[in-house]
Structure 1
Amino acid sequence: MLVRGRLLAPAWRTLRAAAPALHQGVRCGSAQVYDITAEDLPGDHVGGLYPHHIPTNTLQKVLLSAGSAVMSLYDPYRHDMIAVLGETTGPLALHRLHHKMSRDPEGKRILQERPRIRMSNLDIERFRELPDGTFGREYTRFLDVNDVTPDTRAPVKFVDDEELAYVAQRYREVHDLMHTLLGMPTNMLGEVVVKWFEAVQTGLPMCMLGAVFGPLRLSARRRKKLMELVPWAVQSGRNARCVLNFYYEKRWDQTVESLRAEIGILPPPTIKV
């Protein structure tokens, strides 16, 4: 009973906190809508390093990694599970990304100022008035067409370093910007292509998992298209500078074409995704 009280019960609370969508989230297209605040998880973040942080021991991380990996393979649209997998298995990759950001002037400024991509911080109406082809206009078009918002991204919880937690959150929040720059929708084919690009760029385990196993959920016709798109995504990922080293909030008026060229993303193939 002592073992149950000290080990199994905390592990269960941690697992339950890892997937709030099971209790409070609602399915909305390809995203989960979260209605979670720090107060919704009483006691779970006490002693945490940042808001929403849930301290975990090695066993809990193993359980979270295994459970989230299985759920991610079963349902690739479970972004909450994919997020947990990245947080519990990606500390080395997050360290590398943080190192790259700290050595780049623009990346270093991002680490210092810690901007957040949220609806409350975006002037969406102004973006809609920007000329076609500008980054802000095309990003808003992506949100409208795919019926998503940046607020559907769950907060980081299981990264046991406050600085690395921001890197993970930043990566999570620029994911939709990568869709915009790569010209990929949020359907399964588009997600797999973006995951290939991100796997090469970041080395994060959940990106690699999505890149390798994502095609299993595609039809034969879409797998054929993927065979043409993957080489481009991999080459772009290798050619591009670290995508976290760009202060996108300062670049809404820049054209997508010029921003792609600056980052090093190759022009997308003319394939309907």
Structure 2
Amino acid sequence: MRSVRLISTRQLAQLARPAVCVPAGTPLHQHIRAFSVLNRPPPNYEGHVPLTLLEKGALTLGSAVGAFIDPRRADLIATLGEVSAGPVAQRLRDTMLGDPTGRQILRDRPRITSENWPLEELLAMPKNTVGYVYGHFRQRYHMSPDVRDEVRYIDDAECAYVIQRYRECHDLYHAVLGLPPQYVEGEIALKAFEFVNTGLPMAALSLVAVARLKPAERKRFFTIFLPWALRSARRAKPIINVYWEKELMTDAAELRERLGLEKPPNLHTLRKKPKKEKPADATVAAAATPAPEQPPAA
């Protein structure tokens, strides 16, 4: 009678693992070890960096703290947006797939760069068009679309493009809505709008920068810009589905009306300090003071 050989617990665990399809000709030892820092899968697109859950958590925490300390660190905000996107990026892609224009954007995959959108051509367009408004915005604030970081930490290639598209369109939102980027309260207001309209958690995480606002700025944000962001974003169509390349010659006001976008109050005007007037009593006293007598002419 043959003896029965018992299977160890480790062998049972290995048998219980799901089968992995290995391409022909690929060494098997490359697929035995689990995904780790020392054993990463190949990238899914150019520039892709696969991350473990621990690495994503560390990057989320580190970039969130860094962006709170310095909200102007675009690289930290970009990293935070990627590692925190998760299934929301997939839902945003599904939003595009459910719209004819969104599907065309995903097919064409256009990119907003200074080479594709030359500044001199934008400024040569008729005034009040989307192209001219965006060009004037770039010229006034010395902005360039080329400074936008490439997406690296999103695993799905199509979802990575969706986030790249959202990132490159950010300055267009600034320009068309008339929100100046040099004021933190204007940037936070736009992030609040983007969060409600797109659902991306990165935009919501950026709202913690409200704590850094001065009392007057914080009051303006909660009484003026936050209600505007909630109201306008809910009424507006998904802005991710705007094919901006085909709207450059469209009147900006017409586009806002078609998309249901409400233009916020002018932040430059709200930030202007009223001129101090002289007290009335001081003016009267100055008028009542007799002028010094002039010496008689020789």
TM-score, normalised with respect to structure 1 = 0.81
Pick aligned residue for 1:113 from 108, 112, 115: 108
1:93 and 2:93 aligned? no
- Whichever residue aligns with residue 257 of structure 2, its letter is A
Q: What is the CA distance between 1:269 and its match in structure 2? A: 2.3
Q: Which residue of 2 aligns with 1:224?
A: 219
Pairs aligned (count): 234
| C-alpha distance in 2 between matches for 1:245 and 1:102 | 9
> For residues 217-262 of structure 1, what are the alpha-carbon distances to aligned partners after superposition, in whole Å with 9 as ceiling and x for unaligned?
2112222221211111111111111111110011111111011111
8 Å CA contact retained: 2:178, 2:263: no
Pick aligned residue for 1:244 from 236, 240, 254: 240
Q: Which residue of 1 aligns with 2:126?
A: 131
Q: Which has the larger radius of gyration?
A: 2
| C-alpha distance in 2 between matches for 1:106 and 1:90 | 23
8 Å CA contact retained: 2:178, 2:266: no
- Whichever residue aligns with residue 156 of structure 1, its letter is V
Structure 2 runs not aligned, ≥5 long: 1-32, 272-298
8 Å CA contact retained: 2:236, 2:259: yes
| C-alpha distance in 2 between matches for 1:217 and 1:130 | 39
- Whichever residue aligns with residue 191 of structure 1, its letter is E
- Whichever residue aligns with residue 161 of structure 1, its letter is D
Q: Which ranges of 4 or more aligned residues in structure 1 deviate by more than 4 Å?
A: none
| C-alpha distance in 1 between matches for 2:260 and 2:84 | 28
- Whichever residue aligns with residue 205 of structure 2, its letter is L
Q: Which residue of 2 aligns with 1:150?
A: 145
Q: Which residue of 1 aligns with 2:205?
A: 209
1:179 and 2:174 aligned? yes
Structure 1 runs not aligned, ≥5 long: 1-5, 12-44
Once the two structures are superposed, the pairs formed by residues 183-194 of structure 1 within 5 Å of their partners are 183-186=178-181, 187-194=183-190
Q: What is the CA distance between 1:194 and its match in structure 2? A: 0.4
> Which has the higher mean CA deviation after the structures are superposed, 162-171 or 89-98?
89-98
RMSD, aligned CA: 2.1
| C-alpha distance in 1 between matches for 2:252 and 2:41 | 43
